[in-house]
Amino acid sequence: MAPNRPALGSLLTALLVSLLLPALALSQGAPAVTNQGGPGSAPQANAIEQQELRRAIDSAANDRAALLRNLEVFLKKYPESPQRPQIYRAIVEASLQLRDFPRALDYSERLVALKPDDISNTILTIQLIERYGDAPGWRRGISYCGRVLDYVAQTSVSDKSPRVSAEDWENGRKRDRSSILLTRGHFFQKLNDFSSAQKDDEASYALFPGSIAAERLGELAELRKDLNAAIQEYALAFALSDGTGGGSTRIELRKKIGNVWRLAHGSEDGLGQYLLRAFDDASNTVASAKAPRNQGGKEPYDFILRKVPGGSPVPLADTRGKILVLNFWATWCGPCRAMEPHFDKIAQQYAGHNDVLFYALNCDDDESLVMPYLEEEKPKASVLFADGLDKFLQVYSFPTTVILDRTGKIAFRSEGFDYESVEKLLTEAIERTIQTAAATSPASAAAKP
């Protein structure tokens, strides 16, 4: 539910499948309906409508522009089609892929009107309004944000999946509230309702201190001509900015704080020392929330990973002396999805080898994306959060497969994969590691003359 989720184009295939299912039923054993109730009967009309929908999709093949045109033509002919939710969503996804953002916004709002309880689409609509909307859209966006905040407020820890820890659930809930409050505050600011914007930005920052909220508060203070408050907020934004969360760059923030500092003090004397203090203060404020896991690890056995689901600890120190086969992946990575069944198949082949362990290590920044993915894909290998092991091993592309020998050294590493050879290549690497370990074991050394 987090607004900063990955691009949604990857959902299009699944949406098209959901569109095709009713039509496919007509050609895969569904009873004939052409003589039920005469030529104008509802069953026959529905069958014709589904056949036309199927033709609209089939004739577009892989052309997203053609798909969009065909679906819009279909909707003109069947404006009350029961398939509208799926069709609207498919048009939104195709429009996003074609970078036709006004059309994406139009249909996402149609879907909000049709299915107001679809929180995922409501959040997407909010994102589109923030980037491409106008004043009436901003007002609607405020209403949509209220719906999402109400939804979050009504959730209870008792409703969480048993596979998600209470701590992770609560942190996700706070992130959701913080992000939506920040967006609503932005709508209020665009509409010159500075008092409401201030309230939402402060609430957002209190939940999760971040650069964007601090910068917005600095802008509001500058509009009030409260230069000292603007300096303080811009300095916090400068300190918290890491270049990954959106908002202004540090260079841009440096210009903003330099401007208000000169207005307040006549020159930039003392600004550097002030920024250093602000940086230290901000670092202390968010250290506990943002401290990376396993920081300072010097070897793989120093790392304690977490099991998915549940978050129970998995100390790699307990695997010392065993061979680890690690597959680093992310939910947004298409090749990772394709690699998964190959990795699972090899893991099953070694199920009886207690000294060869297989772990699929997730590297998503937003951990809330992982459980829905696993519920859909149902991988067989043990899934853990990478928890910094990816950074330690300098994994920057996905999927990456690494084999650690019995001493924790890298015996094999492959970035990406070839589906025709991956199983052979990885199996040979595992066998080679097993044989090398056997040849260098103390028992083997003692047996030599």
Closest to 360 (Cα-Cα) out of 331, 385, 396: 385
Tell me the pLDDT tens digit for each residue of 359-383: 999 998 878 788 888 988 888 899 9
Residue 306 pLDDT more than 90?
yes
* CA distance between the termini of the chain: 65
Q: Report how far Cα 328 is from the mean position of its chain's Cα atoms.
A: 16
Residue 7 pLDDT more than 60?
no
Tell me the pLDDT tens digit for each residue of 386-445: 999 999 999 989 999 999 999 999 999 999 888 899 999 999 999 999 998 666 655 544
pLDDT at residue number 19? 42
- What average pLDDT does this structure show over 149-158? 88
Record: fold of 300-445: Glutaredoxin (3.40.30)
Domain segments of the chain as ranges: 1-33+40-133, 209-287, 300-445
Class in CATH terms, 1-33+40-133 = mainly alpha
- DSSP assignment of 168-211 equals HHHHHHHHHHHHHHHHHHHHHHHTT-HHHHHHHHHHHHHHS--H
Residue 12 — very low, low, confident or very high, per pLDDT cuts 50/70/90?
very low
Q: What is the CA radius of gyration of the chain?
A: 27
In the chain, the amino acid numbered 73 is: V
CB atoms near residue 358 (< 10 Å): 22
Under 8 Å between Cβ of 204 and 245: no
Residue 286 pLDDT more than 80?
no
Residue 299 — very low, low, confident or very high, per pLDDT cuts 50/70/90?
very high
Which stretches of 61-100 are DSSP H helices? 64-77, 84-97
Instruction: Examine the residue annotation and report whether 333 is marked as an active-site residue of this protein.
Output: yes
Instruction: Examine the residue annotation and report whether 145 is marked as an active-site residue of this protein.
Output: no
Tell me the pLDDT tens digit for each residue of 221-278: 999 999 999 999 999 899 888 766 667 888 999 999 999 999 999 999 999 888 888 8
Residue 8 — very low, low, confident or very high, per pLDDT cuts 50/70/90?
very low
- What average pLDDT does this structure show over 286-313? 80
**Helix (H), strand (E) at residue 50:** helix 42-60
Which of these is catalytic: 207, 235, 308, 333? Answer: 333
pLDDT at residue number 255? 93
Which of these is catalytic: 253, 336, 356, 437? Answer: 336
CA 443/CA 449 separation, integer angstroms: 12
% of the chain exceeding 70 in pLDDT:
84
Residue 22 pLDDT more than 50?
no
Closest to 198 (Cα-Cα) out of 226, 172, 240: 226
Residue 56 pLDDT more than 80?
yes
